[in-house]
Amino acid sequence: MDCKEMILSNEVYDIITDFPIERIELQEPFCYVDAGEGYSIVYMNARGGSNREMDFWDYQIVPKLYGLMQPVGDEVQQGNVLQSSMQFDPNNLIASGITQVQRPPLSLTGSGVVVCMIDTGIDYRNPAFLDENGNSRILAIWDQTIQEGTPPEGFPFGSEYLREDINRALRAENPYTIVPSRDENGHGSAMAAVAAGSNVRIGNAFLGAAPNADIVVVKLKECKDYLRRFYLVPEGVPAYQENDIMLGVRYADSFARLFLRPVVICLGVGTNMGDHAGSSALSRYLNAIAIKRSRAVVVGGGNEGNASHHYYGRLQEGDSERDVEIRVGEGSIGFWLEIWGELPDIITVSIRSPGGETIAPIRLNLQQSITYDFVYERSRVTVDTTLVEASSGNELLLFRVQEPTPGIWTFRVSAVGQIYNGQFNMWLPITDFLNTQVYFLNPTPYTTLTEPAMASEVISVSTYNAENNSFYIESGRGFSRDGNVRPDLSAPGVNVSTIRGRSTGSSLAAAITAGAVAQFMQWAVVENNDEFAEGRQIKSYLIRGAERSQGLTYPNREWGYGRLNLEETFEVLTNV
């Protein structure tokens, strides 16, 4: 089996490492891909075959799964081709100060900047992605799902289509025989258009934030079946692997030209897996990219703020136990539950099922895995405990509950020995990753930004409604688990005009922000006003120009440092 076959095979495990693989002797047949920034992705034969559950598990190295950050049931106009009769509403761009700086004297339209979307692909035939001559504005597409073409240099899988390929396809009778890449979902196309869609071929029917930017697209391949089963993600739900996203970021980064052609990377995917303090492999990887000159990374904060999927508790002397109740609906295939403790405390957990069966407090070792089968119920619970989780240094208890009995499940969290800090946090999966309702009866709406929005160096955004400046109730909220300010800003994401009609979600707030960042990059790098600009500096500029409401304290768990307003950013610069 060659490396490409191993990357695609369900008989092969994917592993994320942060050390040089060439220096390690592995017993199993394997191959690896250098992801850059000190990371490698290793592909190793599964010892038990694809029909068994994973025969090893290590939290930091097994890829997490990410879903699309658009709410379940979000309705958009079907079809990927823009209809000329659609009514474009510029209010969200105006509220963000984007339309104002598109006009003279600044005339910032993203010229010379590359905007990269890592998502579900792009409808390259849509007129929003063409220039005035009918040529494509897309520099390249790396479609990880198509294996018949030529992969990008340095990547063993997928197919790369460059601008000349796309232009040939646009003039062909059957374009998809030349460039077969499609966006069957439409999520990636909508994001790309909001960030960088052009109106030169469609009049005033639509306009994106940075309509003259070049576009790079990574279409992510779906996760492997063994990971979908392992994480209990329902069939048919889009789910993407952490390592494939990392490789997509590496591909996007390759288009940057220092002090000449900046790259803005936008992610509209997220997960509730992770410590919510930015310690995951993807978060740390994005941090390494975001601090490079001529780069910036924008991440949406997800739509989990009202999902009841986070619980915060605090134990103290005299109150060293806390019962946490989870309501599980009928027909659940199962769910994951992560419990993160704080140094130097040690916590343990007992479980009571709706039928009254109990699991006694788990004895904590440095690292262990135990599976419990209930006697009178079909449920099975696997508990993985890690006293010192490698990426964060904190205690982690992870519960994998299969075929849970519907009703109220009670998780009793207790302290072992003396209590020093007493705080603990619990997260359930994102809404898309549950096939029925599973939620805390007494949830906490804060610290609900999805990963990787907790990464410290990215530009992290929550979502609000620009029609009335109200915070979007479904939007994720900060701060991070360790108290760092997340999000940085809030951006419009409700009833946003896209090439698929009106749509709502965190991913659109991220796309609008990415377009604004591309505009600023044009001014800073392309036009040589601050050619040393990178993600941290741009974040600071945007924060200085953010609109802040009277009566609120900033930084704020919902709004970060305020509402995105690029025009005000330039007002601040002119008044310094």
pLDDT digits (tens, 9 = 90+) for 14-43: 999 987 676 555 656 788 999 999 999 999
pLDDT of residue 286: 97
When pLDDT is averaged across residues 461-480 and rounded to a whole number, the result is 97
| Residue 82: pLDDT over 60 | no
Element (H, E) at 286: helix 281-290
**Contact of 423 with 342, CB cutoff 8 Å:** yes
Average pLDDT over residues 490-495: 96
Question: At 83, is the pLDDT very low, low, confident or very high (cuts 50, 70, 90)?
Answer: very low
Is the CB of residue 92 less than 8 Å from the CB of residue 466?
A: yes
**Amino acid occupying residue 123:** D
What is the Cα Rg of the chain in Å? 24
Range with the poorest average pLDDT among 155-159, 275-279, 314-318, 450-454: 314-318
pLDDT of residue 80: 41
pLDDT at residue 335 is higher than 80: yes
208 neighbors 197 (Cβ within 8 angstroms): yes
Residue pLDDT, tens place only, 191-224: 999 999 998 877 767 899 999 999 999 999 999 9
Are the CB atoms for 124 and 166 separated by under 8 Å?
yes
User: Residue 315 — very low, low, confident or very high, per pLDDT cuts 50/70/90?
Assistant: very high
223 φ/ψ angles, rounded to the nearest 5 degrees? -65, 160
Dihedral angle over CA of 143, 224, 19, 254, nearest 10: 10
B/e letters for 56-65, b = 16+ CB within 10 Å, e = fewer, are: eeebbbbbbb
What count of other Cβ atoms lies within 10 Å of the Cβ of residue 154? Answer: 12
8 Å CB contact between 505 and 70: yes
Q: Between residues 21 and 520, which one has the greater pLDDT?
A: 520
Confidence of residue 85 (pLDDT cuts 50, 70, 90): very low
Question: Angle 115-37-58 (CA atoms, 0-180°, nearest 5)?
Answer: 110
Amino acid (1-letter code) at residue 334: G
Place of tokens 């924008």: 298
Confidence of residue 532 (pLDDT cuts 50, 70, 90): confident
Q: What is the pLDDT of residue 1?
A: 75
Torsion-angle region of 286 (φ positive above 0: left; ψ -120 to 50: alpha; else: beta): alpha
Rounded Cα distance between 290 and 286, Å, is: 6
What are the φ/ψ torsions at residue 351 (nearest 5 degrees)?
-130, 140
pTM: 0.95
Higher pLDDT, 69 or 27: 69
pLDDT in tens, 241-264: 999 999 999 999 999 988 789 999
The vertex-391 CA angle with 284 and 280, nearest 5°, equals: 40
Asked if 211 contacts 229 with a C-beta cutoff of 8 angstroms, the reply is: no
pLDDT value at position 86?
55
CB atoms within 10 A of CB 353: 21
pLDDT band at 318 (very low <50, low <70, confident <90, very high): confident
Distances (CA, A) of 472 to 38, 302, 447, 505, 510: 38, 11, 15, 9, 14
Q: Which two tokens stand for residue 305?
A: 């703020």
pLDDT-derived band at 154 (thresholds 50, 70, 90) equals: very high
Domain 310-440 has CATH 1.10.3720.10: no
Please give the distance of CA 298 from its chain centroid, rounded to a whole number: 10
The pLDDT assigned to 312 comes to 98
| Mean pLDDT value across residues 161-186 | 97
pLDDT at position 59: 87
CA separation for the pair 439, 311 (Å, rounded): 10
| Average pLDDT value for residue range 277-289 | 96
Q: What pLDDT is recorded for position 72? A: 42
